[in-house]
């Protein structure tokens, strides 16, 4: 996955959703019930069967049944939009009521199109344009949010990455001369557990070594506020608050440490929407979940001293 900002990632997902909307529109048709009745009444008049009855429709426009290919595209769009909208919801979860109402309205418009629930008019192209505009509005709501950073890249390591290369002050990433390293509560808890219950003495010692190093950094200032660890270009920050799992992506589980890590990374993304935010991990399962969630990831830098890896 390319290393881009949360906003840029969201733009990419938005384009995929809009492409799906356009594709579904190509297989869709709307019936104008009022026009259909007018035509039927005209035909009846021609055949001498004119009726004085006149039907009023609460919803004068209805979507016709989709062909098989249209049904396939509708299902794909439904899944793509679900992933996109959940990410937007998490990114906006603490924004003011005005933003929440705008999000709710955009969701309503897009959901009606995707599910073919209500047609606002007889022209499919107009419905497609309205839905695509609503997708763009959702991205704009995220873009307009307050950014707490100076737009430096942010790297969020998991426990395995810190154990693999505990020389945090030597970490370097291509194309990033200046960046932040964010340590999450989940990682701190896992390190504390490993130093006591690690599967072997070597692992316990490495966990203890990382903890000692973090405590040394703590002498430089409050970790939650950020402390410099290399020439003023690399800063270490420790997040103190666990994520609200019930307000994160719905498939993430409270009981799973990897899921909590991804949820915390999303909180970092929410705070720094215009900064590149990257999960640092060697764990293939975490990488797979991160990819599905739309979280960028890299592997930790190689240790420079023999015997550091795990």
pLDDT of residue 123: 92
Within-domain flag for 120: yes
Q: How much of the chain is helix, strand and coil, in % rounded to 5? A: 55, 10, 35
Shared domain for 20 and 114, answered yes or no, is: yes
pLDDT digit string (tens) for 202-257? 888 888 999 999 999 988 988 888 899 987 789 999 988 788 999 999 999 999 98
Residue linked to tokens 């794909």 = 76
Residue 254 in tokens: 């409270």
pLDDT tens-digit series, residues 155-212: 999 999 999 998 898 999 988 989 999 999 989 999 998 887 767 888 888 889 999 9
Query: Has residue 42 got a pLDDT over 80?
Result: no
Confidence at 54, pLDDT banded by 50, 70, 90? low
Phi, psi of 183 (to 5 degrees): -100, 130
- 3-class SS at 189? helix
CB 9 within 8 A of CB 66: no
Judged against a pLDDT cut of 80, whether residue 303 lies above it is answered with: yes
Q: Sign of the C-alpha dihedral, residues 9, 13, 19, 22?
A: negative
Residue 197, domain extent: 153-298
Specify the 3-state DSSP secondary structure of 53. coil
Q: How confident is the model at residue 307 (pLDDT cuts 50, 70, 90)?
A: very low
Q: How far, CA to CA in Å, does 158 sit from each of 40, 186, 260, 290, 298?
A: 67, 8, 11, 12, 11
Alpha-carbon distance of 18 to 80, in angstroms, equals 10
Mean pLDDT of the 71-78 span: 97
Q: Can you tell me the distance from the alpha carbon of 154 to that of 269, in angstroms, rounded to the nearest whole number?
A: 9
Number of domains making up the chain: 2
Complete DSSP assignment for 144-161: TS---S-S-EEEEE-HHH
Residue 260 has phi, psi (to 5 degrees) of -65, -35
Listed residues 100, 115, 143: the one ending a domain = 143
End of a domain among 121, 143, 165? 143
96 lies in some domain: yes
- Shared-domain flag, residues 109 and 175: no
CATH of the domain at 211: 3.40.50.1010
């Amino acid at each position: 996955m390319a290393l881009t900002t949360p906003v840029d990632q969201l733009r990419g997902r938005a384009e995929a959703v809009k492409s799906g909307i356009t594709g579904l529109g190509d297989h869709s048709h709307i019936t104008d019930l009022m026009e259909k009745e007018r035509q039927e009444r005209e035909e009846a008049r021609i055949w001498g069967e004119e009726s004085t009855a006149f039907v009023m429709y609460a919803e004068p426009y209805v979507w016709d049944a989709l062909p098989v290919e249209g049904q396939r595209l509708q299902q794909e769009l439904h899944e793509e939009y679900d992933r996109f909208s959940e990410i937007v919801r998490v990114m906006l979860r603490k924004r003011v009521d005005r933003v929440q109402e705008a999000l709710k309205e955009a969701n309503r418009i897009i959901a009606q199109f995707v599910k073919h629930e209500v047609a606002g008019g007889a022209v499919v192209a107009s419905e497609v344009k309205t839905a695509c505009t609503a997708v763009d509005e959702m991205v704009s709501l995220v873009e307009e949010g307050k950014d707490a950073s100076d737009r430096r890249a942010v790297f969020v390591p998991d426990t395995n990455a810190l154990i693999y290369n505990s020389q945090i002050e030597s970490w370097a990433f291509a194309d990033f001369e200046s960046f932040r390293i964010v340590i999450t509560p989940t990682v701190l808890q896992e390190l504390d557990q490993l130093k006591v219950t690690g599967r072997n003495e070597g692992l316990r010692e490495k966990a203890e070594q990382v903890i000692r190093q973090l405590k040394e950094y703590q002498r430089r200032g409050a970790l939650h506020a950020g402390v410099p660890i290399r020439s003023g270009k690399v800063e270490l920050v420790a997040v103190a608050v666990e994520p609200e799992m019930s307000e994160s992506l719905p498939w993430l589980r409270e009981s799973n440490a990897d899921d909590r890590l991804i949820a915390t990374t999303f909180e970092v993304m929410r705070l720094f929407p215009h900064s590149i935010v990257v999960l640092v991990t060697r764990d293939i399962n975490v990488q797979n979940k991160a990819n599905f969630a739309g979280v960028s990831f890299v592997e930790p830098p190689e240790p420079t001293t023999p015997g550091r890896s795990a």
